[in-house]
Structure 1
């Protein structure tokens, strides 16, 4: 009984202590300011969860630079409202919404099939959508929600779009995959025999595990692309703690306390989007330099498991089995 209580409490304590550390760092540091980025005319980007928060700011900035941006999301009303706001500000914007539910592998396949039927290039894929601390539950395919939405849905989406991304890149103008992760990956674990968190469930632990899985996939993908000589790079980004709806499932007293001080402690969505945009658009990150883990405009070191080649490969192969590709 005592061990079960400890297993529940430890991830909560570790995540909130990490969150406190991140907030203190943010309070005493200057947010990264995105430099002027080159025009993106003729380029096509897909941004998951682009209807609000960080994703919306990414879509807005790319549209301003002339990119054709497709918002992939499950809330059509939210997506269409985002498009209206963007077009009111920038009438020439090329922005559209397409249904994409990352909790359904079938929805991911339908989204990709619909996209490929249009024979468009794909220069940028931003894996941004996610859930945090949601109640215990399963996706349509039976996977734990954090693992299924944050990681596995994006894994399948990226895999199915890889050929288009490769074909769209060229020397000096690589295509890019940018996965929005979190500092929470630092306290995550990859338990290959329990990726669905069945043995002892904790929403806090499951969220951290899913973010570490994202990082392992991003790193392994970049290495595979380098070895193959493809004009495509992959990186992960930590946007920091940003004032978005992601935190709505926090413990209520803590959520209320944070919302009261959000303007002081949290970054604005546009600030959170700055490093994501830098990773997706900056000429300085062309080619091999486009990989790695980025936070507040800089490449950062991350935890040792992220660099474990056997763990990367094992997760990769297990994920392929989960989505029916091996």
Structure 2
């Protein structure tokens, strides 16, 4: 049994790094694309989870510079203050605010939504960007495995609690948008309904891949539901690229060193480049009214075969509702 567990963990690790290598080679061969048509976003309101550092900071900056009123959802007021000061140095008129949000706590998520809704503002854009990667085994405040709890369930609950505001804000000529930041690693993920908490056989690589597959499945199922009730809201998922960021702090040290070296010589994307596909999903006129897509390098590409399984999409949605105490 121990040998089997070790073999399973080793396989997940190898698969994860192979996907990373393949994604790096692919982005080098394709060259970097970005949003060329950047329409003004005056009067629009956005929420960016994890919007105070890394890719999220670049997304927040990009939206604010085009006139959008951006709310950063994150755990640290100090980090947010630094981010806001940084943004306002280049764009003094930027409208950026912070509301505390801990995606590892359902109580915090409800409090965040309550505070945001108390402002009585519309919501045109929700970017589910925050996340953790390859962390040691731990549980969230509500008892969920950290990858699944933060990357998937936290954003699932947040999205559903904000859906009414997104729906009322979307119009036939200016749809509201929901963006799930997933990863190419979703392609090796598997939703283990018998052990969603990975308590029997934990691998940080498998846990991360499961949560990223859950992001894509959720985007697709949500899009079907939005179409069914004729809401002017779209949902898309994406891979931001292999980016040189602090998200790699839990990888093995040889890989961390390799990642830093690749960043120095330009083999991986900068956080600003990693933000480009997110900004494309958020603002591109090409995606007006179009959802249910998986994006990479500012273009729609196929996600893994498993992600299109409608029974799997529906089952995950129903189980997620049960876990976060939402009624269908």
1:88-103 superposed matches below 5 A = 88-103=89-104
What corresponds to 1:177 in structure 2?
178
> Deviation of residue 192 (structure 1)?
1.3
Q: What SS is found at the alignment partner of 1:265?
A: coil
What residue is the counterpart of 1:84 in the other structure?
85
CA–CA distance in structure 2, aligned partners of residues 260 and 76 of structure 1:
31
- Please give the per-residue CA displacement for 1:262-301, whole angstroms capped at 9, x wherever unaligned: 13221011111111111111111111x2331000011011
Aligned length: 325
Give the secondary structure class of the aligned counterpart of 2:30. Answer: coil
1:55 aligns with 2:56: yes
> How far has the Cα of 1:26 moved from its partner?
2.2
Alignment check: 8 A CA contact 2:186 2:212 kept:
yes
Q: What is the CA deviation profile of residues 180-228 of structure 1, one whole-angstrom value per residue up to 9, with x for unaligned ones?
A: 0000000000111211111210001000000000110011001110111
Structure 2 CA distance for aligned equivalents of residues 216 and 295 of structure 1: 16
**Which residue number corresponds to residue 159 of structure 2?**
158
CA distance in 2, matches of 1:79, 1:210: 26
Give runs of ≥4 in structure 1 deviating > 3 Å. Answer: none
Q: Distance in 1 between matches of 2:7 and 2:288?
A: 46
Structure 2: gaps of 5 or more residues:
none
Match of 2:267 among 265, 269, 272: 265
Residue number in structure 1 paired with 2:311:
310
TM-aligned CA deviation for residue 27 of structure 1: 2.6
Pair 1:23-2:24 in alignment:
yes
1:256: how far off?
1.3
With the length of structure 2 as denominator, give the TM-score of the two structures.
0.97
How far did residue 28 of structure 1 move? 2.6
Where 2:132 maps in the other structure, the secondary structure is coil
Instruction: Return 5+ residue gaps in structure 1 as ranges.
Output: none
Rounded to whole Å, the distance in 1 between the matches of 2:177 and 2:205 is: 30
CA distance in 1, matches of 2:326, 2:37: 40
- Can you list the C-alpha shifts for 1:300-322, whole angstroms capped at 9, x where unaligned? 11112211111111111111111
Query: Please, what TM-score do these two structures have when normalized by structure 1?
Result: 0.98
Q: Distance in 2 between matches of 1:39 and 1:306?
A: 34
Alignment of 1:26-45 (within 5 A): 26-45=27-46
What SS does the corresponding residue of 1:28 show, helix, strand or coil?
helix
Per-residue CA distance 1:65-115 (angstroms, 9 max, x = gap) = 100000000121111100000011101000011100000011000000011
Is 1:275 aligned to residue 270 of structure 2?
no
How far did residue 260 of structure 1 move?
Answer: 2.0
1:279, 1:290 within 8 Å by CA — same for their partners in 2? no
Q: Distance in 2 between matches of 1:260 and 1:200?
A: 33
